[in-house]
Structure 1
Amino acid sequence: MDKKTIVEAMRDMDLCFMSTIAKGGGVSSRPMSNNAQVEWDGSNWFFSNGDTRKVEEIGENPATELTFQGKDTWIVLSGKSNLHQDDKELFKKHWTDELDQWFEQGIDTPGLTLIEVAASRAECWGKPGDGVVEL
């Protein structure tokens, strides 16, 4: 198992569960979309409103896991999240038209936050093989 294998397997994976550390311990998970930006380079990008529980949890503890399932492959990425706020150039880079349904004012939505999950480890099971890759 190597990074190239993970990159190939991630190519068609958009939907995942994002898990963060909950207040008081435990884990919080919620479904998220890469907004069809699946050319994975080690970071995954997600838009959110700034006043959500996930943004608050990441602000307190950036440890994050992303769990993806493809047709015949499962991947868990572990890493740390960075919160990007008020960076309209970065927002433009990652914006897709489908996001307009969630954020009616587009990149000018008050409190808009871009969550970058920088993976440091990948675990893979399925068709490409089973293994762990330190990124």
Structure 2
Amino acid sequence: MADEPMTQTDAIVRLKELVEDIDFTMLTTQDPAGNLVSRPMSTRQMDENGDIWFFTAEDTKKVDEVEADHDVGLSYLDAKGMRFVSVAGRARLVHDRAKMEELYTSSLDIWFEDGLETPGIALLMVTPVECEFWEPKHGKLVMAAGMLKALVTKDTPDDTMRHERISC
């Protein structure tokens, strides 16, 4: 019997778990020459509205690129867990002191020497439009066994990965 697809609500809940658990993402923007440019970002939160939050400095190329073209991509990868997330979204710079106080932790002091008093500190908020994720349906060991079996039998591997696409 084939696995039933997840409901939209369950898929969104799982997406939030993956985004917050994997933490680091590659944020992709478009530079003035039209090139796609990616850089690592640490996810602070995916809130109840589905918005994904990051800290940034205002005077960065990524902020300039987001202000010129709000369309961005986020790519999350957990190679050991075989979990992957892709988010197409719209980004904007946010100056909300209460939200910054909620999300700031001392681990960010590496980038923001004066904490929340660092000149130019801001939040980058990404509102997802389309999201996809892939993860093992039955755990890594079952997936690995299925792939090994396919390798030995020269057969196509069983459908061992769950793949969900969500319009957010």
TM over 0.5: yes
**What CA distance in whole angstroms lies between the structure 1 residues aligned with 2:90 and 2:83?**
23
Structure 1 residues 11 and 108 mapped into 2: Cα distance closer, same or farther (>3 Å)?
A: closer
Question: 1:40 offset after TM fit, Å?
Answer: 5.4
Tell me how far apart the structure 2 counterparts of residues 58 and 43 of structure 1 sit (CA, whole Å).
Answer: 16
Cα offsets for 1:112-131 (capped at 9, x unmatched): 12101111111112325113
TM-aligned CA deviation for residue 65 of structure 1: 0.8
Indicate the structure with greater helix content.
2
Structure 1 residue 11 displacement after superposition: 4.1
Over 3 Å counting, the alpha-carbon distance change for 1:100 and 1:64 in structure 2 is: same
Identity of aligned residues (%): 30
Q: Secondary structure at the match of 2:113?
A: coil
Which residue does 2:127 correspond to in 1? 118
Counterpart residue type for residue 133 of structure 1? I
* Within-5 A mapping of 1:14-93: 14-35=23-44, 37=45, 41=48, 42-70=50-78, 71-85=81-95, 87-93=96-102
Q: Which runs of 5+ in 2 are unaligned?
A: 1-5, 138-161
Give structure 1 stretches of 5+ with no counterpart: none
TM-score by length of 2: 0.72
**Which one has a bigger Cα radius of gyration?**
2
Using CA pairs under 8 Å that are at least 6 residues apart, name the structure with larger relative contact order, 1 or 2: 1
Larger strand proportion of the pair: 1
